[in-house]
Amino acid sequence: MKLTILGSSSALPTSERYPSAHVLNAHERFYLIDCGEGTQMQLRKNHIRFSRINHIFISHLHGDHIFGLYGLLSTFSLMGRKSPLSLYAPSNYDLMLISHLSDFDIHLSYEINFVPLAGKDPVEILNDKYLTVTSFPLKHRVPSFGFLFREKNHDRNIIKEAITTYNIPGVRLPAIKKGEDFITASGTVIKNEEITIPPPVPLSYAYCSDTKYFKRLASFVKDVSLLYHEATFDQSKQDLAAVTGHSTTLDAARTAVEAGAGKLIIGHFSARYKDVGILLKEARSVFPNTLPAEDGMTYNIADISNG
């Protein structure tokens, strides 16, 4: 699992930071999370092929998270896309999207599979070969949702020498990888632990942007390998955060602690911060394993969650 930050700014883009957008690469499948203004330019700069994106997740319907989507959808069509695109967004977005496409005379060359987000509890919205994706409610001024990407459990790894030693036929390997013992031709039972080694621990990534702190959030992302959490303001702006429905650095760090996260990335920074050092320092005072989101950076989740 690798995460690329395309945009780390809140409402206003700056000369160094674009509005919110992330790309998660899980087993060479690419998932776009939010699509602020300039996302397709950032995709090009970071050499991410448009055709690799088949799933787009929109957390909520504020411009800094969605203004880049219309141009990207149009570009997909102009590039001759034929494969369907799955779009996950708040339930009231479907009609808005249809209206926009009609208003601007856009006729897409591909089908959009719209998956509405709603409710007050976590919901599994995607289940594929390698991972599951769960949406969960956040607390913002408009309906807002976070996303949890979890790898499925891996099969055990067979020790190559054991295949020769016990003359294990190829047809038996899939079952052994699933944990079964092996019985030799003479009836001897070879325990699975003797011929396999445990698989890597499944990785996970959670995206929490545009939300107030609330206790239940940590339970939605329990034990996540990497937590991205907005930290729009420093702690001195906690009253402003409450009014606007955002989090401070300490809110983000507190959620990371309560969730037992492996690592925290803070982002969605207010444009008032030319240097996010103060934000990072505050977050690390509560949760030391904190990194700042930086546009154009790619984080290997296996490496940073174990670092």
3 state SS of 217: helix
What is the rounded CA–CA span in Å between residue 86 and residue 83?
Answer: 10
Kindly give, in sequence order, each residue whose CB lies less than 8 Å from that of residue 188, ignoring residues fewer than 6 positions away.
Answer: none
Strands (E), the chain: 2-7, 21-26, 29-33, 53-57, 85-90, 112-117, 123-127, 131-137, 145-151, 157-158, 182-183, 189-190, 196-197, 204-208, 226-230, 263-267, 290-292, 298-300
The pLDDT value given to residue 307: 55
Q: What fold characterizes domain 2-154+200-306?
A: Metallo-beta-lactamase; Chain A (3.60.15)
What is the rounded CA–CA span in Å between residue 301 and residue 179?
Answer: 26
307 residues of the chain, pLDDT tens digit each: 999 999 999 989 999 999 999 999 999 999 999 999 999 999 999 999 999 999 999 999 999 999 999 999 999 999 999 999 999 999 999 999 999 999 999 999 999 999 999 999 999 999 999 999 999 999 999 999 999 999 998 889 999 999 999 999 999 999 999 999 999 988 999 999 999 999 888 999 999 999 999 999 999 999 999 999 999 999 999 999 999 999 999 999 999 999 999 999 999 999 999 999 999 999 999 999 999 999 999 999 998 766 5
Q: Burial, 24: exposed, middle or buried (Cβ in 10 Å; 0-12, 13-18, 19+)?
A: buried
Task: Summarize the chain as % helix, strand, coil (round to 5).
Answer: 30, 30, 40
The pLDDT value given to residue 36: 97
Residues involved in catalysis = 64
**Residue of 131, 119, 118, 48 lying closest to 88 (CA atoms):** 118
The pLDDT value given to residue 155: 87
What is the rounded CA–CA span in Å between residue 136 and residue 271?
Answer: 27
3 state SS of 266: strand
Q: Are 40 and 50 in contact (CB under 8 A)?
A: yes
Q: Are 162 and 191 in contact (CB under 8 A)?
A: no
Q: In which residue are the tokens 């020498």 written?
A: 161
Domain boundaries, the chain: 2-154+200-306, 157-197
What is the rounded CA–CA span in Å between residue 39 and residue 215?
Answer: 32
The structure tokens listed for 260 are 């037992």
The pLDDT value given to residue 264: 98
The pLDDT value given to residue 257: 98
Beta-strand pair 29-33/189-190: unpaired
The structure tokens listed for 263 are 């690592």
The pLDDT value given to residue 306: 61
What is the rounded CA–CA span in Å between residue 22 and residue 39?
Answer: 9
44 Ramachandran zone, left/alpha/beta (phi>0; psi -120 to 50)? alpha
